[in-house]
Amino acid sequence: MPVKNRFAELQDEITAWRRDIHENPEILFETHRTSALVAEKLRAFGCDEVVEGIGRTGVVGVIKGRETGSGKVVGLRADMDALPINEATGLDYASKTPGAMHACGHDGHTAMLLGAAKYLSETRNFDGTVVVIFQPAEEGGGGGKVMCDDGMMERWGIHEVYGMHNWPGLPVGSFAIRPGAFFAATDELQITIKGKGGHAAKPQETVDPTLCAAQIVTALQTIVSRNADPVSQIVVSVTSFETSSHAFNVIPAHVTLRGTVRTLAPENRDLAEERVTALCENIARGFGASAEVVYKRNYPVMVNHEDQTDFAADVARSVAGECADAPLVMGGEDFAYMLEERPGAYILVGNGDTARVHHPEYNFNDEAIPAGCSWWAGIAEQRMPLG
């Protein structure tokens, strides 16, 4: 099954949907316009059921095959939300919303799954049921978990679930995947160091939290270099250093650090939390200061299931001729929550030589649409073939 001719015919239409979504980005759970557009199109396609408000602003569409005797139900998921970034592409269809941009390609994911839903509603060339899932709040809001907590998997009896993400640097329309741990667990840090502020000319009368915080930033890197196994994957990043005073001649009273910890194994996640807390509290104590650590466990490791990964790769090869081995990714992905609920797999589709995701000059490559849509359709038709 190479790229389907129907998706070549639909490419201009799907591209128009994508660019409309791109021009009107919405963040986290505020995907009201996008969700309404998705629901309207699913109804127009003739889906058997369209339900809004799953996971606050998520949308679910149900498409029954020409036969349903197999009893199989396969979920296909796309994310809809944008990022809080000011766009710098200069495109005719660039974001009209200041401070919001589709800088990760979720506009493309949504449009491709809509294209697949239109085709599957037209042909119904499978024995079973397809559930198309349009999820809000992937970018930090945990929308996947909220949809699962709303009982989505049980309500529609989903047996397996599949997701896709575009990937800059991978040739357009090609695919890559890996079994097992794929995307990292992502945890958030907020560390408040409290000292005693005062005049910069009299440091002996203060307890300087800036100096203490600088030592903590350096020491946190020893978790990777001296505590974790050198062959394991772990990243500790302090991304914000904010003092309570911005004056040139004032030693501040407190400093707030923020950052992330990314791991691919539960034992490293536990290790990182323990060492972050111990280092911060004890270094602060040594300076006569105090440290309050808020360690928030965010998205879990996204783990592809072996059988479903093999199947997803086979479908990719049927579309593109081959499927590459994907690298480990230290970014997070809340499709992890759905893969904790049901077996499934997550694949990368090539976006070509473009700016990287989360960059103000990034843009989803519309040339990837036929391949992505064909993969979605192939998941349904090949997992639930007609007898």
Report the alpha-carbon distance of residue 256 to residue 383 in Å, rounded: 51
Please, which residues have CB within 8 angstroms of residue 296's CB and are 6 or more apart in sequence? Answer: 187, 188, 189, 190
Is 104 annotated in some ligand binding site? Answer: yes
Give Cβ neighbours of residue 214 (< 8 Å, ≥ 6 apart). none
Identity of residue 90: G
Known binding residue 32? Answer is: no
- Measured CA to CA, the distance from residue 75 to residue 70 in angstroms comes to 15
Asked whether the beta carbons of 160 and 344 are under 8 A apart, the reply is yes
165 assigned binding-site residue: yes
Q: 3-class SS at 152?
A: helix
Is 199 flagged in the annotation as binding? no
106 is known to lie in a ligand binding site: yes
The residue whose two tokens read 């128009």 is 16
- Helices within the chain (DSSP H only): 5-23, 32-45, 106-123, 143-149, 152-155, 209-220, 222, 266-286, 306-320, 335-341, 369-383
Those residues whose C-beta lies under 8 Å from the C-beta of residue 222, and which sit 6 or more positions away, are: 279
Q: What whole-number distance in Å separates Cα of residue 368 and Cα of residue 265?
A: 33
Residue 294: phi and psi, rounded to 5, are -110, 110
Q: Residue 157 and residue 155: Cα distance in Å, rounded?
A: 6
Written as six digits, the tokens of 167 are 């990937």
**Percentages helix, strand, coil for the chain, rounded to the nearest 5?**
35, 30, 35
Torsion of CA 177, 238, 359, 355, to 10 degrees: -50
Query: What is the secondary structure of 215-240 as a DSSP string?
Result: HHHHHHTHIIIIIS-TTS-EEEEEEE
Binding positions: 104, 106, 139, 165, 358
Residues contributing to the annotated binding site for Mn(2+):
104, 106, 139, 165, 358
